[in-house]
Amino acid sequence: MRTRERAASVRMIDEPLKPDLVLVLTYLALSAIGLLMVYSATAPGLEAVGRDPATELRSQAIFVVIGFIVFVAMSMVDLVELKGFTGPIYLASIVPLVMVLTALGDSEGLAQRWIQLGPIQFQPSELAKIAAILMVASLLAQAELPLKWDTVARVVIVVGIPALLIFRQPDLGTTLVFAFVLLSMLFVGGATMRQLGFLFVATVVGTVGIFQLNMIKAYQITRLTAFIDPGSSSLDATYNQVQSEIAIGSGGLFGKGLFEGTQTNLQFVPVQSTDFIFTAVGEQFGFVGSLVVIALFGLLLFRLLIIATSARSRFAFLVTIGIAAMLAFHIFVNIGMTIRIMPVTGLPLPFMSAGGTVFVALSASIGFAHSAWIRRNSPVGE
Amino acid sequence: MTNTMRVGVVGIVFATLLAVLGIRLWTMQVSEVYAYEALAAKQQVRVVTTPAPRGDIYDTNGVKLAGTRSALAIVVDLALVDIEEIDLLAENLAAFLNEPASDIVEQLSAENRGAQITVARDITDSQATFLLERREDFPGVTVIPQPIRTYPLGELAAHVLGYIGRPNDEDLERKDVDGNDFVGRAGVEKSYDVQLQGIEGIVQYRVDAKRKVLSLVGEEAPTAGRSLILTIDSKVQERLQESLRLGLTQARRLEMDERAKVLTERSRSDRVAEALVEARLEAAEAPDDSTETTSTTSDVGVDDNDVASEPEPITVDPAEVLGPLDTGLPIDADGMCVPVQRLTIRLGGEGVLSGIEPRFVRLDSVAEMDGELVATVSISGTKTAVKVNGWVDKARRVLQVLAVSEDEIILLHKDPWCPVRATGVVLDPNDGSIIAMSSFPTYDPTVFVDGLSAEQWASLGTVSAFQNFAVQGQYAPASTFKVVPYVLALEENFYPMDRGAGDKIVGEGADQGAESEPVALQSDTDEYFCGGEFKFALNDGTFQRKRDWKWPGSHGLLDLHGALAASCDLYFWDIALRLWQERADDSGLDKENLLQGWARSFGFGAATGIDLPFEKDGLIPDKAWFKEEQRKETGRVRQGPWVGGDLMDIAVGQGATLVTPLQLANGFAAMVNGGTVWQPRVVARVVDSDGGVIDENPRLALSTIDLSPRTVRMLRDDLQQVVNDQDRGTARVAFAGFGANVDLVGGKTGTGEVIKAPKAEHFRQVDDALFVGVAPIDNPKWVVSVIIERGGGGGLVAAPVARQVLQYLVNGPEGVTELAPGSEED
């Protein structure tokens, strides 16, 4: 690998900074589809109460613009320079996680996940995910191979602190994102099968323990178990999922057409512009449309893995894998939730769900990956 | 493993995850799309039903007996009410309707979410306006017109019409019925409910997730139910009802007269003395009996109900003789007896027991003993502890406990001697059409439309006014049943054993022609001696004794025809006795069951299948039934074998024999029409709202009996004699004032003994009065049966009621004369 990298760097050393068009276009396409879906899902409801049907679209569009700017900005940041700041960034991400659990936190539904900064609502867990990825990548990048147990332990602690804080909010979905990202990064970072096996067992035991010790809230158990047999419960979580499933199922092969989604447009599906945005795709554009969206996500993940393998530094390589794993987990759990193969956890669909923090944070994260691509041939300043 | 390989593994994991999503989407959106489409469609359409007006009911001449009108109802559409608003809404509605809030809250409970609940029916226009102007206080409330059942003629033909009400569990099993509907609960409202019901209208709206109506998808107007044309003639029905009412009043007056006589004309000591004399007389005869009857339980023995076989000592308890007459029985405002009065007394409160001298009842305390509530009540200072179903005064048995609760007792003040009910049926013997049918006390079916109030239930329910006794009441037919052994005698050439001076050819006279063959067995005698007492030898050589209703008088010499006209018990007992004694002979006839066979052939002992609900079977007892009852230990039969006396009881319609008033009329109809048993019916046809016939309900012959014309002619003649024979016809006095065409009328009286009392205590005997009339006798068009429960003698009180109805039928409305008692004859 090193040989090939060097050869490539020799060949392409003088080329200017060139963007990954496939990555950028996929990102923009998903964002555009997301905007359209947000509009189609919210316009009838807003119109019904006499408000401007584009209200939600407008605010999401602003987030997309901000997000894109952040994406471009992060693409400019050299990860090598960033590497030195991972510690402060990590620490800075922990502070609001603590704050959100105090009186400053705002609760939506049954969990405290938000912080109000002036007019802006801010979800600190989104930032924490990226900070943790950067921190883990810098730890693993310096470590000798094969990884020692104490390195693994350090990495687990780094991930465990924000994960536990987020678990206390409580936000089980995001906590599981940390677990998935941790395992993925350790795997590609050179952990032995024994280490991975140990962590896997520990995760399983921990999860069982959480249930056994009643550390999990009742509504979370309901959500988690209700999806197995939605007919047995009339709780909101189940209602959402059943409605979502009916909407997507009734979409058929080609969908009911834009603005023709009876379930979506008649507001049978709640929180459809955020967590259940995929419902709008499935109902209005059918199987074909759903497959296009999944293919775009697949392409995005594929590009990220390509970027990872061509990264000039081990740090960039690990950051990109971490980001890809985070996105993959979001995509699978979110869409899986709307079609009732995963429980309802409240993870948004990347680039499509309405919401500012998450869009900006994910834009920043692929901005880092993009930066790795742009600088894949630059001299490694190690 | 190299980095690239590890990344490859990650890539494979990602691809797998996305593939899982794709496969699941394929099954949902392509394979199972129809199921999801159906689910989606169901959610978006809200179906609102509008009730269909029930079909009308008309009499045979087109007079409307039941219809519908449109009234405003308050309907709460729970789909439009937020859960938080329900309590407030219930409170407001309760205040508005002046009803307890808990009732409304129950109706609006969570289980009914999404349903439309009718909380009030038939509100006024101003009430509706009030509601609609205050929508914010009454969320989800709408006022819509709903059809309401009306019965323009009130009580007329109530028992035939029946009534409607909320469905019970059984009704709810029907697909087209839900808890908000009204269904027929009795009468033709029940038996023709499906036709009357109509088809609910449907309005389909497209709604959003908040159930807000977006657009109208489709609308189907309700289809009115089909109408019924009855065979009932409301004019005859009106006459029957009025006569039944008068008849019951008269029976009660006669009962009160009798009591007054007992209490005033004869002194208490006189009656005690009289009772003592009678008791001695009975005792004096007893030794005579015991020498003759070696065994009363031999297989040929006769039940000894009527036989005073009590040996010494002879004592008479004065209180027993006087009974409760001197302590007061319930009376109404007019001073007439009432069969039962319901009395609710609160703890510490007092109630009044009506009577000639009213008494006061106090509920002193209620305590629990052994898991049962025991109430202490005091009447005129005397305290008694009673439980539910117990009697406050065990000796007299007039005050029974219906229910006891912590703070309340409900008593039934009963008069077991007071005439309780008059039931009548008029039918056409040529096709089984019911022309009129009623029983009194009756009710107005309108009371059920808004639900029965507690007071209505207490006053009408306690006397079972809602039951149609014409098909649900079962009575001993008594002497009216003698037509069965009468027909048997003629058809089987089977007569009593000769007790007279000589045999005589049956049906003597010039018109007999070839039919009458002078064969020895085909004989009847006009010198059969019908004494008051019947002593007869049993197969084992012992003797038994039965008494005729006329005892200690006598009917003198008579033949079969005279026996029917005079209602001689002995003659028909003798027929039964001979059947019993010859039961094992080699005639090939099953003589033991021959009488029952003839009875059943006329439809007795089985429901007729009339198109009305809850019809009873009646009972024609036989040995098999008797044994079965014994085996099942129902307590309805005594121990020991089935004996000849049981058969003799059947011959005069007593013992365990039971018929409904309808069976009685229909059985007579079959005999006088020549032998066709028609299935009775009250609905002639079912028509649609335009009058087009949907369903004819044609006459249906259940069976045809091969009766000889001679039998039919003779029966008609003899029934005519019951009314017209001025010497011994048991109904002659009742029909004395009939007027013109009395010779066209025939009939048969009957007096069913419910409680048999010795002569001295005659006032304590309880009899059902029966009469069956037929007219015109040579070509019958009407059969009238009348039963007055506990009324007394059939000739005395039942025949006059039938007389008025027959006067109306034969001579028209002007021909009806005032009701007057007949003679105290069977």
Concatenating the DSSP letter of every residue in A114-179 gives EEEETTEEE-HHHHHHHHHHHHHHHHHHHSPSSPPHHHHHHHHHHHHHHHHHHHTTT-HHHHHHHH
- Amino acid, single-letter form, for residue B27: T
Can you read off the two tokens belonging to residue A161? Answer: 């602190």
Separation of alpha carbons B569 and B486, rounded Å: 12
For CA atoms A354, A356, A360, A365, give the dihedral sign. negative
Q: Which residues of B touch A287 (CB under 8 A)?
A: 25-26, 29-30
The answer to whether residues B363 and B348 touch, using CB atoms and an 8 Å cutoff, is: yes
Cβ contact A188–B6 (<8 Å): yes
* pLDDT for the residue numbered B127: 86
A310 touches chain B (CB under 8 A): no
For chain B, how long is the longest CA-to-CA vector? 136
**Peptide bond before residue A124 is cis, with ω within 30 degrees of 0:** no
Chain B residues contacting A via beta carbons under 8 Å: 2-4, 6-7, 9-11, 13-15, 17-18, 20-22, 24-26, 28-30, 32-33, 35-37, 39-40, 43-44, 207-210, 212, 214
Nearest CA distance, B103 vs chain A (angstrom): 26
Cβ contact A331–B35 (<8 Å): no
Q: Residue B498, class by beta-carbon neighbours within 10 Å (0-12 exposed, 13-18 middle, 19+ buried)?
A: middle
For the beta carbon of residue A110, count every other beta carbon within 10 angstroms: 11
Of the candidates B10, B32, B33, which has its C-beta nearest A321's C-beta?
B10
Of the candidates B2, B13, B40, which has its C-beta nearest A1's C-beta?
B2
Cβ contact B6–A336 (<8 Å): no
The alpha carbon of residue B768 and the mean position of all alpha carbons in its chain are separated, in whole angstroms, by 15
Residue B428, CA distances (Å) to B232, B436, B470, B672 in order: 11, 10, 15, 11
The answer to whether residues A284 and A264 touch, using CB atoms and an 8 Å cutoff, is: yes
For the beta carbon of residue B543, count every other beta carbon within 10 angstroms: 15
The answer to whether residues A189 and A147 touch, using CB atoms and an 8 Å cutoff, is: yes
Instruction: Show the CA angle centred on residue A109, arms to residues A103 and A115, nearest 5°.
Output: 35
Burial B345-357 (b: 16+ CB within 10 A, else e): beeeeebebbbee
Q: Which residues of A touch B29 (CB under 8 A)?
A: 248-249, 251-253, 282, 286-287, 290
User: Can you give the length of chain B in residues?
Assistant: 826
Residue B306's SS3 state is coil
Separation of alpha carbons B429 and B712, rounded Å: 13
Residue numbers of A between 115 and 144 with CB closer than 8 Å to B? none
Q: Closest-CA residue in chain B for A308?
A: B7
Return the bridge partners of A253, or none: none
Cβ contact B29–A287 (<8 Å): yes
Q: Which residues of B touch A339 (CB under 8 A)?
A: 21, 24-25, 28
Q: Give the mutation candidate from B17, B20, B34 for the A interface (greatest A CB count, under 10 A).
A: B17
A162 touches chain B (CB under 8 A): no
Separation of alpha carbons B317 and B188, rounded Å: 52
Can you read off the two tokens belonging to residue A185? Answer: 């990064």
Q: Which residues of B touch A243 (CB under 8 A)?
A: 209
Can you read off the two tokens belonging to residue B515? Answer: 């039919």
Residue B134, CA distances (Å) to A269, B127, B640 in order: 33, 11, 77
Q: Is 0.80 surpassed by the pTM of this model?
A: no
Separation of alpha carbons A265 and B208, rounded Å: 8
Please, what is the end-to-end C-alpha distance for chain B in angstroms? 117
- Amino acid, single-letter form, for residue B310: E
The answer to whether residues B223 and B198 touch, using CB atoms and an 8 Å cutoff, is: yes
Cα torsion for B497, B498, B503, B504, to the nearest 10°? Answer: -60
Cβ contact B14–A298 (<8 Å): yes
Of the candidates B18, B28, B210, which has its C-beta nearest A298's C-beta?
B18
Q: Which of A172, A155, A154 is nearest to A163 (CA)?
A: A172
Residue B769's SS3 state is strand
**Tokens 């949907």 found at:** B694
Separation of alpha carbons B284 and A127, rounded Å: 119
Q: Which of B649, B648, B680, B651 is nearest to B664 (CA)?
A: B680
Q: Which residues of A touch B212 (CB under 8 A)?
A: 48
Cβ contact A249–B29 (<8 Å): yes
8-state DSSP, B407: T
Q: Closest-CA residue in chain B for A336?
A: B21
8-state DSSP, B51: P
- Among left, alpha and beta (phi > 0; psi -120 to 50; other), residue B454 is alpha
Q: Give the mutation candidate from A266, A317, A323 for the B interface (greatest B CB count, under 10 A).
A: A266
| Percent helix / strand / coil, chain A, rounded to 5 | 70, 5, 25
Nearest CA distance, A246 vs chain B (angstrom): 5
Cβ contact B21–A184 (<8 Å): no
Write down the number of H helices and E strands in chain B. 23, 32
Residue B695's SS3 state is strand
Residue B215's SS3 state is strand
Which portions of chain A are predicted below pLDDT 50? 1-14, 109-110, 228-235, 381-382
Q: Which of B115, B46, B105, B104 is nearest to B79 (CA)?
A: B115
Can you read off the two tokens belonging to residue B530? Answer: 């019908």
Separation of alpha carbons B802 and B807, rounded Å: 8
A251 touches chain B (CB under 8 A): yes
Q: Give the mutation candidate from A147, A188, A307 for the B interface (greatest B CB count, under 10 A).
A: A188
Which portions of chain B are predicted below pLDDT 70? 1, 79, 110-115, 208-213, 264-269, 271, 282-327, 395, 497-526, 537-542, 758-763
DSSP string of B537-582? E-TTS-EEEEE-TTTTS--EEE-HHHHHHHT-HHHHHHHHHHHHHT
Nearest CA distance, A117 vs chain B (angstrom): 34
The answer to whether residues B758 and B746 touch, using CB atoms and an 8 Å cutoff, is: no
Of the candidates A270, A287, A332, which has its C-beta nearest B30's C-beta?
A287
Cβ contact A298–B7 (<8 Å): no
Instruction: State ipTM.
Output: 0.89
Separation of alpha carbons B727 and B823, rounded Å: 13
